[in-house]
C-alpha cells in the first residue's frame, strides 16, 4: 500500500446560503495521478483552494504527510500569477528562492527548456502568450522538485501541440515519482494521465475510482459518456 | 533571502516611470521654491524638507502601488503556498526600496546642493545616511499598511494622502511651526515624519544628541509599522483586513 500524502475529509465551503463544497473527501497517495473532474461551478477549484489553504474551510479536516509540506508541494493556479517586471527566468529564480532552493542560471534555463520556454527565458513574464504563461506557471510549480503537485486546468486554452507537451510533462512528473492532482474538462487527457478519477458535481463527490473501474461500474464505453451520464448532461 | 532581495530590487528598478518622477518632482520643487524664496537660510531648510518629502513619497506611495500590482496579479497567493515567511518577504522588498530611495536622495543631493551653493559637513554624512535609511524603512512599511487596507488604486491614493499630507503639515519640513496652534504641533508629533525631519536637520548640523533621539524614535515607529504591515499583510486580492469579500470568481468551479 502506497503512503498517503494528503487526506482531506468532509470539506465544506459556503458563500452565504450557497454551499459550493459539500462534504468532499479526497485522498492522494504517493506516485499517484489523480484527476478531479466535473462541470463548471461544481466546486473543483474551490476544493483545491481549500486543500491549499487559499480559502478558509467551513468544516472538514486536511492532513498532509508532513508538517513542513509547503517545501514539498508545487502549485499551478488557474490564473497564471507572476511578479510583474521580471523575466521568465527571474520569476523562476525568485520562486525557487521562496521555496528555499538556490537555482543556477543553467538549471533555470534547463527547467524552462523542459517546459518549452527556451526562446523566452529573458522575456518579461507578463508579456508571454497565454500558452507560454501557462507553461511558465507549471515550471514555477516544479522548480523545487515537489513530491506533490497541484495543477488547476493545466491545459485549458492551449493549442493541441502545447496540450500534448503539458501532458507529456505531467506523465514525466509521475514517472519521476511525484504525485499529481489536476483538474480538467478534457476526458481524453484524463484517460491518458489519471490513475484515479474523482468526479465532483454540486460540491459532492459523485464517483471515484480508476478509469477502468468507473467505466465498468457505470456500464459506459468511454470517459466522455461517463462524464455526461454522471453530470446529468447526457440529454443536453 | 538574498535572491528575493535582489529580485525585488530588479523589479523596482524596472519601474522606470516611478523612478523618473521620484527624481524629477523633488528637483523641480527645490528649484521652484529655492528661486522663489531666495534666502540662503531657507535654502538649507528647503533642502532637508525636499529630501524628507522625497523619502516619504517614494516610500509610501511607491511601495503601495508596487505591492498592489503584485497582489492583484495573484503572486501573493503563490507566496502563501511557499515556506518563505511573510515578514521576510516584506522585509526584503522594504530593503530593496530603501536602497533605491537612498540612491534617489543621493542624486537629488548631487543636483540640488550645487544649484544653491549648499555644503554639507563631512561628519554629518553618515548620520544623514542612517537617518534616511531608517526613515525609508519606516515609511515603506507605512506604504505596506496603506495597501493592506486599500482595495483599488483610488483608495491607495486616498489613504496615502490622508496620512502623508497631515504629516507634512504637522512638521517643520518647509516652515516653522512656532506660530502654529498647539494641537497641530501635537498631532504632527504623533507621526514619525517630524522626528525624521528633525533627525535629518540634526545630522546636517552635526548635533548628534538630537540626531540620536530622532533616530531612536523613528526606529521605534519603523518596528511598529513593520509588525503592523506583516500582521495585516493581504495576500488575496479578494480579501480585506475585515474579512473575505467574495466576487463572482470566488465561487468558480
- Under the banding of pLDDT at 50, 70 and 90, the label for residue B247 is very low
Residue B106 has pLDDT above 80, yes or no: yes
- Under the banding of pLDDT at 50, 70 and 90, the label for residue A161 is confident
pLDDT in tens, B49-74: 999 999 999 999 888 998 898 888 88
Q: What residues of A are in contact with residue B244 (Cβ under 8 Å)?
A: 56
* pLDDT at site A236: 41
In 3D, which of A54, A13, A3 has the Cα closest to residue A200?
A13
Q: What residues of B are in contact with residue A51 (Cβ under 8 Å)?
A: none
Q: What is the ipTM of this complex?
A: 0.78
The SS3 assignment for B146 reads helix
pLDDT in tens, A101-148: 888 889 989 889 888 888 899 999 888 888 888 889 988 888 888 999
- Average predicted confidence (pLDDT) for chain A: 88
Q: Which residues contact A166 (CB under 8 A, 6 or more apart)?
A: A134, A135, A138, A154, A155, A158
Share above pLDDT 90 across residues of chain A, in percent, rounded to a whole number: 35
Global pTM? 0.80
A15 to B77: CB separation less than 8 angstroms, yes or no: no
Phi/psi zone of residue A9: left (φ > 0), alpha (ψ -120 to 50 degrees), beta? beta
Lowest mean pLDDT among A45-59, B85-99, B126-140: B85-99
Cα-based distances in Å from A176 to A30, A144, A148, A172: 11, 13, 12, 6
pLDDT in tens, A169-210: 888 888 888 999 999 888 888 988 899 999 999 999 999 999
Nearest CA in chain B to A183: B253
Q: What residues of A are in contact with residue B246 (Cβ under 8 Å)?
A: 15
A94 to B250: CB separation less than 8 angstroms, yes or no: no
A100 to B84: CB separation less than 8 angstroms, yes or no: yes
Q: What is the distance in angstroms between the Cα of B145 and the nearest Cα belonging to chain A? A: 20
B60 exposure class (CB count in 10 Å sphere: 0-12, 13-18, 19+): buried
B70 to A83: CB separation less than 8 angstroms, yes or no: yes
The domain locations on chain B are 16-239
d(CA B43, CA B33): 9
* Of A45, A85, A99, Cβ closest to residue B82: A99
pLDDT (mean) for A30-41: 91
B11 to A15: CB separation less than 8 angstroms, yes or no: no
- Under the banding of pLDDT at 50, 70 and 90, the label for residue B229 is confident
Q: Which helix (H) or strand (E) holds A182?
A: strand A179-184
Q: Which helix (H) or strand (E) holds B186?
A: helix B182-188
* pLDDT at site B243: 44
Amino acid at each position: 500500500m502506497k503512503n498517503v500524502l494528503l487526506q482531506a475529509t468532509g470539506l465544506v465551503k459556503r458563500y452565504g446560503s450557497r454551499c459550493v463544497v459539500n462534504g468532499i473527501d479526497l485522498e492522494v497517495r504517493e506516485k499517484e495521478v489523480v484527476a478531479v473532474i466535473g462541470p463548471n461551478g461544481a466546486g473543483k477549484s474551490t476544493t483545491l483552494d481549500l486543500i491549499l489553504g487559499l480559502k478558509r474551510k467551513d468544516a472538514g479536516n486536511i492532513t498532509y504527510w508532513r508538517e513542513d509540506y509547503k517545501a514539498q508541494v508545487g502549485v499551478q493556479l488557474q490564473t497564471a500569477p507572476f511578479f510583474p517586471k521580471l523575466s521568465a527566468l527571474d520569476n523562476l529564480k525568485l520562486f525557487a528562492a521562496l521555496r528555499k532552493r538556490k537555482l543556477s542560471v543553467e538549471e533555470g534555463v534547463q527547467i524552462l527548456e523542459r517546459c518549452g520556454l527556451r526562446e523566452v527565458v529573458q522575456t518579461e513574464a507578463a508579456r508571454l502568450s497565454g500558452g507560454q504563461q501557462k507553461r511558465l506557471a507549471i515550471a514555477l510549480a516544479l522548480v523545487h522538485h515537489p513530491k506533490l503537485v497541484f495543477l488547476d486546468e493545466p491545459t485549458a486554452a492551449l493549442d493541441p501541440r502545447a496540450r500534448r507537451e503539458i501532458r507529456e510533462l505531467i506523465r514525466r512528473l509521475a514517472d519521476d515519482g511525484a504525485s499529481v492532482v489536476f483538474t480538467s474538462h478534457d476526458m481524453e487527457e484524463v484517460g491518458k494521465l489519471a490513475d484515479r478519477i474523482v468526479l465532483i458535481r454540486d460540491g459532492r463527490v459523485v464517483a471515484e475510482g480508476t478509469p477502468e473501474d468507473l467505466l465498468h461500474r457505470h456500464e459506459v464505453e468511454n470517459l466522455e459518456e461517463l462524464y455526461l451520464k454522471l453530470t446529468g448532461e447526457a440529454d443536453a | 533571502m538574498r535572491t528575493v532581495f535582489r529580485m525585488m530590487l530588479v523589479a523596482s528598478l524596472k519601474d522606470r516611470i516611478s523612478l523618473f518622477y521620484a527624481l524629477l518632482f523633488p528637483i523641480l520643487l527645490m528649484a521652484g521654491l529655492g528661486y522663489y524664496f531666495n534666502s540662503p537660510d531657507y535654502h538649507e531648510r528647503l533642502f532637508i524638507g525636499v529630501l524628507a518629502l522625497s523619502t516619504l513619497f517614494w516610500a509610501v506611495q511607491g511601495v503601495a502601488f508596487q505591492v498592489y500590482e503584485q497582489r492583484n496579479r495573484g503572486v501573493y497567493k503563490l507566496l502563501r503556498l511557499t515556506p518563505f515567511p511573510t515578514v521576510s518577504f516584506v522585509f526584503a522588498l522594504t530593503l530593496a526600496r530603501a536602497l533605491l530611495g537612498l540612491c534617489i536622495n543621493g542624486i537629488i543631493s548631487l543636483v540640488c546642493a550645487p544649484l544653491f551653493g549648499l555644503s554639507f559637513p563631512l561628519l554629518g554624512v553618515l548620520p544623514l545616511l542612517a537617518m534616511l535609511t531608517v526613515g525609508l524603512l519606516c515609511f515603506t512599511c507605512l506604504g505596506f499598511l496603506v495597501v493592506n487596507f486599500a482595495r483599488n488604486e483610488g483608495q491607495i491614493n486616498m489613504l496615502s494622502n490622508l496620512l502623508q499630507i497631515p504629516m507634512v503639515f504637522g512638521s517643520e519640513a518647509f516652515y516653522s511651526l512656532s506660530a502654529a496652534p498647539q494641537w497641530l504641533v501635537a498631532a504632527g508629533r504623533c507621526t514619525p515624519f517630524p522626528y525624521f525631519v528633525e533627525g535629518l536637520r540634526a545630522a546636517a548640523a552635526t548635533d548628534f544628541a538630537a540626531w540620536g533621539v530622532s533616530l531612536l524614535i523613528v526606529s521605534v515607529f519603523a518596528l511598529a509599522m513593520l509588525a503592523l504591515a506583516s500582521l495585516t499583510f493581504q495576500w488575496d486580492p479578494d480579501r480585506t483586513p475585515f474579512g473575505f469579500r467574495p466576487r463572482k470568481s470566488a465561487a468558480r468551479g
